[in-house]
């Protein structure tokens, strides 16, 4: 017995799946909260150092002035974004192991390098002794 291969167009055998729905709100939310983890944000050069009493964060932001940047600190998360009128867009978020003491922290912009000195908040023990009757 002799067998031969039959040639058929591949389009007949492919199953077409419906297009996935694009949810712009979800994309923007994930971009804002996880921006430092995405590949698009990896091009920004940043250096983080862990000192004894403070963290040091240096981020390259060439072409931006101090009035074009917004720095937000909430607990252990630091978010750096550029304002709407800025020459370029910057979005970065960093999470640190300890909470940041805002009153002892400082920011400096010099020659296109943003330097943040983020003081560590010393954890306070809230242990209360309970008397045994």
Given this model, what pLDDT does residue 39 score?
44
Given this model, what pLDDT does residue 24 score?
66
Given this model, what pLDDT does residue 14 score?
47
Say how far apart CA 115 and CA 127 lie, in whole Å.
36
pTM for this entry: 0.61
Name which of 45, 95, 46 is nearest 74 in CA terms.
Answer: 95
Tokens of 29: 């939310």
Given this model, what pLDDT does residue 120 score?
94
Given this model, what pLDDT does residue 27 score?
66
Given this model, what pLDDT does residue 42 score?
42
Domain 45-122 fold is Immunoglobulin-like (2.60.40)
Please list the pLDDT of the chain residue by residue as tens digits (133 residues).
455 555 555 444 444 445 455 566 666 666 666 654 544 444 567 899 999 999 999 999 988 999 999 999 999 999 999 998 888 899 999 999 999 999 999 999 999 999 999 999 988 888 888 999 8
Given this model, what pLDDT does residue 109 score?
94
Q: 65: burial class by Cβ within 10 Å (0-12, 13-18, 19+)?
A: exposed
Name which of 22, 43, 41 is nearest 31 in CA terms.
Answer: 41
Q: What is the 3-state secondary structure (H, E, C) of the chain?
A: CCCCCCCCCHHHCCCCCCCCCCCHHHHHHHHHHCHHHCHHHHHCCEEEEECCCEEEEEEECCCCCHHHEEEEEECCEEEEEECCCCCCCCEEEEECCCCEEEEEEEEEEECCEEEEEEEECCCCCCCCCCCCC
Given this model, what pLDDT does residue 103 score?
92
């Amino acid at each position: 017995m002799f067998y031969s291969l039959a040639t058929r167009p591949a389009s007949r055998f492919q199953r077409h799946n419906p297009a996935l729905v694009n949810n712009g709100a979800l994309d923007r939310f994930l971009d804002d909260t996880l921006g430092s983890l995405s590949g698009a944000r990896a091009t920004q050069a940043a250096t983080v150092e862990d000192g004894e009493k403070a963290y040091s964060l240096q981020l390259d932001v060439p072409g931006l002035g101090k009035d074009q940047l917004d720095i937000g600190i909430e607990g252990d998360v630091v978010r750096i974004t550029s304002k709407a009128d800025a020459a370029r867009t910057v979005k970065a978020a960093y999470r640190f192991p300890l909470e940041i003491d805002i009153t002892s922290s400082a920011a400096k912009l010099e020659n296109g390098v943003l330097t943040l000195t983020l003081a560590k908040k010393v954890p306070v023990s809230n242990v209360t002794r309970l008397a045994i009757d």
